[in-house]
Chains A and B, each alone.
Chain A
Amino acid sequence: MVQRRLLTLFTALTLPLSGIWASSAEEHTAPVEAVDSHDAGTHEAESAAAHHGEEAAFNPNEMIMHHIADSHGWHILDWNGHAVSIPLPVILWTSNGLVVFSSAEFHHDIEGHHVVEAGGLQFVNKHEKIYYAGTEDKPVDLSITKNVFALLVGAVVILLIFFSAARYYAKNTNAAPRGLAGFVEPLILFVRDDIARGAIPEKHLNRFVPYLLTLFFFIWVNNLLGLVPFFPGGANLTGNIAVTLVLAAFTLIITNVNGTKDYWMHIVWMPGVPTALKPILALIELIGVLTKPFSLMIRLFANITAGHILVLSLVSLIFIFESVWISPGSIILTLFISTLELLVAALQAYVFTMLTAMSFGAAVEEHHHDDHAHAEGHH
């Protein structure tokens, strides 16, 4: 009982940390660095040309990476060469303590030229990483970046949906649910019955189902929000490897904290196997403990990021060919891929939750010792 409360509290408190971590680990895809020098030239050329009202060559790479990556301000659109964006707070833990200022002070500069003076220190923004001006050192970046803000928006959406469903159940305890509660109930039962119940023994089910529900809806809602093309959607949250890293880390931690003696015995000293092989198997199994969450992390990150890159590439076809007649084909392809992405959003949430449930089940599973004893007896 206490364990469940602690687990829930732990998850609730640290889930937002993934957002903060995400803001400081932005360059998960190195193409941003690869196009670094390339970028410095084209970005300045573009903004200079744009200010003059001319058209610079469209660089799809830069546009796509700009939309995939995290940033300190939420860029909405470009109006007459002028970037319109929502300035998000920059929160830094520096040698002088906590420094807070608006990201608008950088004036959309990501080349590290514009110096912001705050809290007695000077900062520059190089490709959405904040450095002390003139050095390669960074303060601890705790800013509310685009991804952190999107995380909060997703959290608000989830809380709104489920609190209103919960209120419905509190009011009408024995009626068949209608409205939002009726929409949400089959989904919750799906997670509990089809995902959790098959993997986790009945005795331990109620311990893990709340976390699995949270995980499922967190991933699904944030995947969906990432597909919405306008504010406050369109932030690539689950495609940020820091976020998926934290989700996978939770799976790793919860699995191994709840591992029974049987679970650990199966990893380090597998029963029923010739003694000579046991150390080798132990090594393999220990690596296996880490590779499962690692694959969870990569699977979610790559699926969502690849989907976003694909949609953005198809739309930028119009700008690459610079012809309005490409639009019908491009838009239809984009619609088709977006529909597929809707499926992928739900499917990736399902796969992540199911694999997590299977890990939990493996951790708490009760084994019949007789089977192993028999096997060893026969040797």
Chain B
Amino acid sequence: MTGSIAAIGAGLAVIGVGLGIGRIGGQAMDAIARQPEASGKIQTAMLISAAFIEGVGLFGVVVSLLK
């Protein structure tokens, strides 16, 4: 077995990010389907939320990069 516990930790952090951003994307699609005229605003809000959640996931990745 190669790799390290740190890599496993990073992978776990990314599971959370994947689930979170997946939910945002899904709900954004629902919202756009309900009201296509608002799709611009929804898309912007979706990207911003995704950036925040990705930021949190990257905290985990950074910690796994530390010695």
Give A residues with C-beta under 8 Å from B: 29-31, 33-34, 295, 298-299, 301-303, 306, 347-348, 350-351, 354
Contacts and interface: CB of A to CB of B under 8 A. Distances in A.
Nearest to B4: A34
A31 B66 CA distance: 7
A347 B54 CA distance: 12
B51 A351 contact: yes
B32 interface: no
Given A347-B47, A351-B48, A303 B54 contact: yes
7 contacts: A29-B65, A302-B55, A302-B58, A303-B58, A306-B58, A350-B48, A350-B51
B67 interface: yes
Given A299-B58, A303-B58, A348-B51, 17 more contacts: A29-B65, A30-B65, A31-B67, A33-B67, A34-B67, A295-B55, A295-B59, A298-B58, A298-B59, A302-B55, A302-B62, A303-B55, A306-B58, A306-B61, A350-B48, A351-B48, A351-B55
For chain B, give the interface size range. Answer: 10 to 19
A354 B47 CA distance: 13
Interface of B: 47-48, 51-52, 54-55, 58-59, 61-62, 65-67
Contacts of A350: 48, 51
B59 to A, nearest CB: 6
Nearest to B60: A302
Contacts of B66: 29-30
Contacts of B52: 351
Nearest to A351: B51
Top-6 shortest CB links A-B: A302-B58, A299-B55, A30-B67, A351-B51, A302-B62, A29-B65
Contacts of A302: 55, 58-59, 61-62
Contacts of B55: 295, 298-299, 302-303, 351
